[in-house]
């Protein structure tokens, strides 16, 4: 699963900057008033605006909302209902589920984040972890996107979903929700494979990316509460390392 992430504007514009190197300042000016400079912690359930790179515009940053609304949705009520269920797309079934199969064939995207948060269950309590690359590089996340037209207002609404896969060894240990049959993690692709994902021509080309990221490239540590009355919120403290004594043998 992937419902909580950390990113910033520099990270999100990373893919665009090499192509628009002479317009870097203009890029920042364009987006700085549309999305926060920093998402120290943001939940997908708040449907934040983020930057994605689509197969139609591979190097052009596109503003999108987290929680995909398929093109066939009828009205606002249905849209609000489904986008809480499409924050993630289970990679193994994206070509089967009605919400994702059209996007899986023709609407793929990449999202750049610094890391993501996941909860570990122990003795009836949950303990959040921050997961990121050991080399401090950003994570390239595989996603799906779609455009929906609000027939009431005429507004064109771009939205996306993060694809997930089975957990690697590290995430199996962290993501141990007893209500779920297995641990999950977002589909992370290598930077040099982003174009291959976006340009994939068929189902087999897409599905080869649906696999756990290399365990040795990731690391994690505990952070403070992300939800509930003691939630830290979107501040730098959200990704600061803390210690839970009860997890000393983790």
For 178-199, write each residue's pLDDT tens digit: 988 999 999 999 989 999 999 9
Q: What is the pLDDT of residue 28?
A: 86
Alpha-carbon gap, residue 109 to 105, rounded angstroms = 12
Centroid of chain to Cα 125: 25
Task: Write down the pTM of the prediction.
Answer: 0.96
Specify whether the CB–CB gap between 107 and 135 falls below 8 A: no
- Summarize pLDDT for 132-183 with one digit per residue, the tens: 999 999 999 999 999 999 999 999 999 999 999 999 999 999 999 998 899 9
Specify whether the CB–CB gap between 127 and 230 falls below 8 A: no
In a 13 Å sphere around the CA of 27, the CA atoms on its Cβ side amount to: 22
Residue 229: pLDDT over 80: yes
Number of domains in the chain: 1
Where in the sequence is the domain holding 75, given as residue range(s)? 4-247
pLDDT band at 128 (very low <50, low <70, confident <90, very high): very high
Q: Domain of 53: which CATH number?
A: 3.90.1680.10
Look at residue 236 and give its three-state secondary structure.
helix
pLDDT band at 24 (very low <50, low <70, confident <90, very high): low
């Amino acid at each position: 699963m992937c419902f909580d992430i950390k990113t910033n504007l520099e990270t999100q514009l990373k893919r665009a900057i090499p192509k628009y190197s002479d317009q870097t300042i203009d890029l920042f000016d364009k987006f700085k008033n549309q999305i926060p400079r920093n998402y120290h912690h943001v939940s997908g359930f708040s449907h934040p605006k983020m930057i994605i790179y689509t197969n139609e515009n591979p190097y052009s940053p596109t503003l999108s909302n987290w929680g995909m609304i398929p093109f066939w949705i009828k009205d606002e009520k249905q849209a609000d209902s489904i986008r809480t269920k499409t924050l993630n797309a289970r990679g193994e079934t994206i070509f089967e589920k009605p919400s994702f199969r059209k996007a899986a064939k023709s609407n793929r995207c990449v999202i750049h984040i610094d890391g993501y948060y996941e909860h570990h269950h122990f003795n009836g309590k949950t303990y959040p972890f921050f997961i990121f690359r050991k080399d401090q590089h950003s994570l390239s996340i595989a996603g799906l996107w779609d455009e929906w037209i609000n027939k009431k207002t005429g507004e064109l609404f771009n939205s996306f979903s993060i694809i997930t896969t089975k957990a690697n060894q590290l995430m199996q240990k962290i993501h141990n929700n007893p209500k779920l049959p297995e641990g999950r993690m977002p589909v992370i692709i290598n930077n040099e494979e982003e174009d291959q994902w976006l340009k994939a021509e068929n189902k087999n080309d897409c599905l080869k990316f649906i696999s756990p990221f290399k365990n040795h490239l990731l690391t994690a540590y505990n952070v403070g509460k992300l939800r509930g009355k003691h939630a830290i919120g979107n501040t730098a403290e959200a990704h600061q390392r803390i210690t839970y004594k009860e997890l000393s043998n983790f």
